[in-house]
Amino acid sequence: ETGVTQSPTHLIKTRGQQVTLRCSSQSGHNTVSWYQQALGQGPQFIFQYYREEKNGRGNFPPRFSGLQFPNYSSELNVNALELDDSALYLCASSVFGGSEGYTFGSGTRLTVV
């Protein structure tokens, strides 16, 4: 049984560029949630995908978009990067409504310069 894998682990982008972050969910999980964690803060919910459909969205602008594939892996896309987008992006997979909670990936550290 594999855990949650995120790629890349670190990334440096220039303001205005676009970025795609990837997440493969744990075997048996059908839901992927994305979170942004700024330094010293708790993770903030971006959105969640369940069976390839978006199932909730946090207070993030439309520049943040995503999708989920039939194998339940997921991508987070951020367009027109801003300096404040610099953060740790966390992916968590789970079974929708399950009793075991989230399994987290190690995150992608994005730095926008």
**Interface contacts to another protein, rule CB under 8 A:** 31, 33, 35, 37, 40-45, 48, 50, 55-56, 58, 88, 90, 92, 94, 96-97, 99-104, 106-107, 109
Whether 31 and 73 have beta carbons less than 8 Å apart is answered as: no
CB of 16 or CB of 99, closer to another protein: 99
Whether 22 and 4 have beta carbons less than 8 Å apart is answered as: no
User: CA angle, corner 8, sides to 98 and 106, nearest 5?
Assistant: 40
CB of 26 or CB of 73, closer to another protein: 26
Distance, CA of 11 to CA of 7 (rounded, Å): 9
Closest approach, Cβ 109 to another protein, in A, equals 7
CB of 20 or CB of 96, closer to another protein: 96
Residue 52 vs residues 27, 68, 71, 82, 87: alpha-carbon distances, Å: 16, 5, 9, 28, 25
Closest approach, Cβ 61 to another protein, in A, equals 18
Closest approach, Cβ 86 to another protein, in A, equals 13
The separation between CA 47 and the C-alpha centre of its own chain, rounded to angstroms, equals 8
Closest approach, Cβ 48 to another protein, in A, equals 5
CB of 43 or CB of 66, closer to another protein: 43
